[in-house]
Each structure stands twice: as C-alpha cells, then as structure tokens.
Chain A
C-alpha cells in the first residue's frame, strides 16, 4: 500500500519537527504567514497528531504511540496560561494565545486521547485533568460563554453578537468528552444545548451555499468548506446523544455542501461565496485531509472519494517526508511550475491532519519510520525563482545564494526571514 510508505516517511519528517515543548515549524494559512516564529505551537496540529497516534496504536499496539500521547499531554500542560488558554495557539497568527477553533479542538483531542489511554490500561498523565478543567472553567465558561447569545464567543474583545460555528462545534465536542470523562455531563448540558441551537441557527438554509456553515455567524455570503466540515462530528454527536433529528438533517445538509466542495482532480475548495464565483485555490492539503477526517468521524466515509483524494495528497509528498501545504497559492489553477513558496513549504499544522488521515487508512499495518530525506526544489518568491532546501536539521529558501528564509529546526525563531 503506498499509504504505508508515505506514512512512514511522514513520521520521519514529523520527528524532525519535534523539539522541547512540542512540534515546531513555520505556519502558512489563509489569514497570513507566521515565518519568524517557528517555536512549539499549540494549534490544531495536536488534534491531528493525537488522533493519528490513537489510530496507529489501535492498529499496531505499539506502546511508543501511547508514550507520545502522554508526552503531548505534558507538553500542553506546560503551554497553558493561567487564564486557561494556550501559548502560541493561533496557527498562522502565532505567536498568540487564544486561537480558535484550535484550543477547543486540541482539548477535545486530548480528552479522546485520555479516554483511549484509559481503554489501553494507562493512566492519563498527571495534571492533564486539571489542565482540561482549567480550560473549560476559566476559558470557556468564564471568558467565552455569552449569556445573551447562549453560545460561545470566539474572543474576548468586542463584537459580542458574533460567534464562530466551527469553534462552537469544537467546544461542544470538548464539553461532551469532558462531561463523560469527569462524570459532570449534567452540568454542561445547558451550555451544550445553547451552543447546539446556535449551530443550527447559523446554517445557510438556501441559496448557493445551502447547507454550509459560515466561519462567523454574521457572515451571510461566505463559507469555508474545510472550516464548515469541522462542525460535522459535533452535529453527529448531538444527533446521537439527543436523538433530535434537526441535528441529523443539519449534518446531512452540511455533508452535502462539503462533498460538493471537493475537486474532481483533488483538494477541497478554499472559499465559497453566495454572490460571486467560488475561490477554489489555494487547495490546502491539510484542509482536504481534515475535511475527509471530519466526514469519517461523522460516519459519512465515501471510499471512492477517499481513494481519489488520497491519491492527490500522496502526489504532494516531498522527499523529505513532509507534504506541500497547498496548490495554487497566488496563481490559481492550473498550478504554476515551479510552485509558490507558500505552496511548497511543509507546515506541521497542516501536515498533522494528513498524518491522522493516513494513520486512519493504514492503522492495520505496522509502519516503520523512515529517516527524513534531503530536498532541494525550485520555488517562486513574489514571482521570482528561488531555491528551497530542507533536510533533517534545516529549512531554507535562498535566491542566488542569498538567504530569504533560514530556520534551524527545533529552534523557536528563524535565523533569517525576508519573506
């Protein structure tokens, strides 16, 4: 199976990103790029990694994966701030705490991992329970719960009428998991009920975006299929637990929208609009993997689609074992050759989703980690050619020998960042 080899290489690459305190590396997203800060970040990379390790241990019974889960819990504990949020959790806006939906998504994954550790006969690392408790009590309930809207805000600042459905969905999952683990389900029921209603309320009912969830509740003309797909597991959970068919119907309509956003040649559309043509590119590899995983977790896995999309993803793995971040940054389709540097640069936060996807596929196979290879490829920086090189110890982009970006792996800051 080609997936097994890809996974082995990817595991090798991920190990080159790991250092004290977590997984390192620059971030490239839609909101921006975080290239100077390359230190340990606590965004949705942990969600992909934890889910991937759970899947791999389930398939291989290799205790090393449980060790990694425990190590992740300890890394996250040391990254938590007194108000319950986590340092450097804002992905492409790093270094900045309070990232959404990153923080609740990571906490939900930690809780799933805690449940899995218990099933596997291991104890949750000491302090993990109080870390989650602090996040739920201090961050979610004290700071983000909006009594008037009866849902969770995304931030502490103004615009109190706005919430973000993908973040709310992640919070619903977190509260369900936390209630189950701590035996406090009843206490969270009113919060979950309010948040669930807000999810239903924000769904587009008709028009070109019918079924979609906006990124923010007040946005009536734009949807990100990947972000929307993040609501699917929570809706499936709500349907299963409450038996309320509205959640089932909402999830079904949303799944229809997400499925419609996958491109035949591979990838998931970047943004879709009600009043203008959709914006297909950049096609993020991690977003594609994440959307497939969300469909899978909500019980809507379509094997034919998986095959096609995974084929597209595997073609974007570089010799280093990492995956390209996207296709079509800046130029659209067909992609330019050589690609834009933002397409080519491997980003841990996105690649972790690909890791979880491949781990789900090959969980029955024992994968052998492969050492990360050395890569040198041509990229475009602001339309002009440059050379990107990567090995186990560094990632660099140079133009005619002049460094534009140099990062020594496992260090918190780039040495050079002229991007």
Chain B
C-alpha cells in the first residue's frame, strides 16, 4: 500500500481524494497564455505524470516532443489547421505521438486509448503545477506534423497539448450531473443522448436544451474578447444584418418597446439589439431553454456592458415550451433561425403569439427546405452530415414555405410580409461570374456580381427558392 492511500479519511474520503477532486473542479482549458517560458523541469514532471498512468499491456507506446521554437510552433499551427490564437501564443506545444509498430489491431483501439489517458495525465499534471493547458485533438495533417518534427513514419501524431502560464480566467463550464451518467447493476438508458443524424423528431425538448447548453459552453462566442472564441463572428453576415435592420425598423414604431429574443443562445441578437436600440427599449428579454445559457449571456454581457436593460429568462416547463412572460407583454419578437430545432415548432409559435401584445410584430427567419445547400451534399458524401454545420447549431429541420405559413396561421399569426433571402439564382450568378473570370471576362464578372449583390432580398414567388424565409407577422 502506498503512503497516500494510508492518509486519514473523513467519511470514507481521504484528504488526498478531496485535494484531487478540488484539482479537477478547478481545472479549465486555458486559451490565453502569458509570454513567459515554462521551466524544463516542470515539463519533465508533466511527462513523468503521463508515463505513470496505465497503458495497455504496459506497451508504453507514447512519445512526446516539446516544441518551443516559434518558427516550428507556427509551422505546427498551420499543419493542425486549427486557426486558434492559443496555438501561437502558448510557450510550449507538446506533440503527443504513439508508436504504430506497437499498435495491435483490435476493436478497442487500445493505442489511442492509452495516448488519451496519457494526455489526461498531462492536463492534470499541468493544473497541479499551476500551469495552464489545452488539448487540441483535431489535427488535420498528423503526418505533416510528424515530418515537420523529424519523426519516423511509425510515429503518428495524436494531438497537441498547449502548455504555458495561464493568462485568462475562463468561466466554469456546465458538467453533466453524476446521477445522469452513473447507474448501478444495469443500464436503464433507452434513448441516445444525441442521435448521430440530424432528425429533430428523435430529440426531446430536454435533449435539445441539453445539447444547446453544453455546445454553448464549448463553442461559445467570446466572453471577454478572446477566451472562448472559436468560430468567426456571424454578426457581419448579410442574413444577420438584414434581420437586425428589419427588427430595428419594427422597433422604431413603438415607444420604449419590450422585446423578446426567442432562444437567444449566445446572445448575439440581444447584443446587437442592445447596441443599436438598447436605450430606446424598455427591456430586452433573452429567452432560452436552460439556466446555463442564461448564465452564459449574463456573464458575456457583464463583461461587454452593452447599453440598456436586458433580462435573461429561462423556459418555465421541464418538458414543454413555456415562455415565462404574461400574455401580451412584448411589442416585438425576434426568432432568428430557431424554429428549425423543433420537429413541431407549433408550441413555441403559440407561446410567441401569446406573449405578443396587440399591435406588436414578430420577425421570424427560418431555413428553407428547397435551397440547395452545397455543404449538405458534401457532408452526405463524406457520411459526416451530423457533425457538419449542425455541430455549431444543434439539430435542424428545414421547412417548406407552405408548411411554415400553415404553422404561423395555426399559431394565430397573420403574415404582414413574406420575403426570401439569398435566392438560388445568386448561386447561379456566382457560378457565371466565376466562369467569366476564368476566361478573362473580368468586367462582365464584376457586372454579374453587382447584379446579384442587389438581389439578396426577394419577394413574391422567388422567395420560395431562397436560402432563408423571412416572415413579419402580427
């Protein structure tokens, strides 16, 4: 028995156990690093910790390369294709390899499991020594990284661990509670937590809420300007700009309106509303399904301090959509591509109708089923559709114009204006412009692009062949 295991216990839990749990509770992935070197001794202790962890049949097939040379780090960053600032900023990149010659071809993938365990050890050892670290597993070109580091062909790069002195204070992410993931003497779980396909009808409201919550904390837009940022800011996209503009024009019709943003997620729409009309609005309500999302928005806005008054509200029902606002409470509602998350969005639409005041308007944007999204075909060909765009957005269902219009009617809305954004002929125009450029007809290509650029918004029948359907309803 080791010394630590003989430590005095309180209620069956040793002090070492408490300390270990505290270490785990406090661990965060670090994405901002100080510009200070990491002592070699600490790196060696981290790797020592990793090598003490179990390996299948004690094969110890891992291999570590610590990279501190800035030129080499830049090269690795490019090869990983991660496009994240922390890869450049971290003083040390630990490339973790495994020896493929020792890998047995069994269905358990023991080699990869072994390296995964070692990486877990690296991360915990870094935390225990006051260092910050983050693991990057999505390596696009592991062979390229091996070559760049002069590794022999039998060593395969499994991932990169960025190590350095922490210069950020990331918020605590949400973790699934133990009773949800632990069962005794049998497994009662009958449904997949997340289905591998994008079929919202397989998802309960609870699943959707859970997915959105966890996803947000993993891929959330920046909270303090840099820490969590992973994806580009979509607020400069033409669709978002259009929505903001329409919403602003709607709000201008009311004195000090109350505004509701449906399923606010990362709070982009609310943030935009506050920055443009925050002082004119009485309250902007950010409504979403879980307290975790509300906490995220509060934390984000607490640091950005947009003007105006925002109130985060959480769905009132455990397994049904219920906006916690009285009837006829708000003058304007925004719903930016959110109905897609529901197999049956009617309950949500009914709730929106209920809280909308007489004379108020709602702006609803929804993806059109008929639009030929090229990514869809590409993902389908790669059999990886489920982790495509939806990795960032959750499950999606596309609607046909007739379907959505029927739903709006059933919810009690009257459509005052129906538009389409990004009609399909823009795609054709882009193809024509590209072809013109290829054969040197640049002037014509410019004119075609300009022609298409002025036709981003369409009305009438053309809207049925648009990427996004827009409904202004009352």
Name A's B-contacting residues (CB within 8 A). 32, 34-37, 39, 81-83, 87-88, 90, 93, 95-97, 138, 142-143, 146-149, 155-161, 276-277, 279, 329-332, 382, 411-418
Contact = CB atoms under 8 A, between A and B. Distances in A.
B461 interface: no
B225 A157 contact: no
A415 B252 contact: yes
B127 interface: no
A36 B244 contact: yes
Contact of A382 (B74, B78, B442, B454): B454
Contact of A156 (B225, B242, B303): B225
Interface in B250-300: 251-252, 272, 275-277, 280
B440 A93 contact: no
B275 A88 contact: yes
A299 to B, nearest CB: 35
Contact of A330 (B70, B224, B306, B447): B447
Contacts of B277: 412
A231 B168 CA distance: 34
A411 B442 CA distance: 40
Given A148-B74, A157-B232, A413 B245 contact: yes
B248 A147 contact: no
Contacts of B454: 330, 382
20 contacts: A34-B241, A82-B305, A83-B225, A87-B276, A88-B275, A142-B225, A142-B226, A149-B88, A156-B226, A157-B231, A157-B232, A158-B84, A158-B232, A159-B83, A160-B85, A276-B440, A279-B442, A412-B280, A413-B251, A417-B245
Interface in B59-91: 70, 73-74, 78, 83-85, 88-89
Interface in B394-418: none
B25 interface: no
B319 interface: no
B225 A143 contact: yes
Interface in B97-138: none
B246 interface: yes
Contacts of A159: 83
A280 to B, nearest CB: 10
B429 to A, nearest CB: 13
Interface of B: 35, 70, 73-74, 78, 83-85, 88-89, 222, 224-226, 229-233, 235-236, 238, 241-242, 244-246, 248-249, 251-252, 272, 275-277, 280, 303-306, 437, 440, 442-443, 446-447, 450-451, 453-455, 457
Contacts of B74: 148, 161
Nearest to A95: B276
A82 B276 contact: no
B69 to A, nearest CB: 12
Given A36-B245, A37-B276, A413 B252 contact: yes
B80 to A, nearest CB: 12
B252 A37 contact: no
Contact of A147 (B89, B246, B252, B280): B89
B225 A279 contact: no
Contacts of A417: 245, 249
Contacts of B233: 155-157
Nearest to A138: B225
Nearest to A39: B276
A37 B443 contact: no
A37 B236 contact: no
A124 to B, nearest CB: 23
Contacts of B244: 36-37, 95
Given A37-B244, A157-B233, A82 B303 contact: yes
Q: Which 3 A-B pairs have CB atoms at the shortest separation, nearest pair first?
A: A36-B245, A158-B83, A82-B305
Contacts of A147: 35, 88-89
A95 B249 CA distance: 13
A262 to B, nearest CB: 21
Contact of A146 (B88, B305, B442, B451): B88
Nearest to B274: A87
A156 B227 CA distance: 10
B226 A35 contact: no
B443 A277 contact: yes
A83 B453 CA distance: 33
A279 B446 CA distance: 9
Contacts of A83: 224-225, 303-304
Given A82-B304, A160-B88, 9 more contacts: A39-B276, A83-B304, A90-B236, A95-B275, A143-B225, A148-B70, A148-B73, A157-B233, A158-B230
Contacts of B222: 156
A418 B472 CA distance: 14
**Which of A37, A82, A413 counts the most B-chain CB atoms under 10 A from its CB?**
A413
A159 B230 CA distance: 11
Nearest to B251: A413
A87 to B, nearest CB: 5
B405 to A, nearest CB: 21
B88 A88 contact: no
Contacts of B440: 276
Contacts of B231: 157-158
Nearest to B253: A415
Nearest to A383: B451
Nearest to B246: A36
A301 B144 CA distance: 52
Contacts of B249: 36, 413-417
Contacts of A96: 235-236, 241, 272
B10 to A, nearest CB: 44
Contacts of B304: 81-83
A135 to B, nearest CB: 13
Nearest to B35: A147
Contacts of B224: 83
Contacts of B229: 156-157
Contacts of B235: 96
B275 A411 contact: no
**Which of B225, B238, B242, B252 counts the most A-chain CB atoms under 10 A from its CB?**
B225
A35 B84 CA distance: 34
B275 A412 contact: no
Contacts of A158: 83-84, 230-232
A330 B442 contact: no
A415 B225 CA distance: 34
A93 B240 CA distance: 11
Contacts of A149: 88
Given A96-B235, A142-B225, A382 B88 contact: no
B79 to A, nearest CB: 13
A155 B236 CA distance: 12
A160 B32 CA distance: 14
A156 B230 CA distance: 10
Nearest to B232: A157
B443 A332 contact: yes
Nearest to B84: A158
Nearest to B87: A160
B461 to A, nearest CB: 17
Contacts of A277: 442-443
**Which of A36, A88, A147, A149 counts the most B-chain CB atoms under 10 A from its CB?**
A36
Given A35-B245, A414-B249, A415-B252, A148 B225 contact: no
Nearest to B456: A32
A412 B442 contact: no
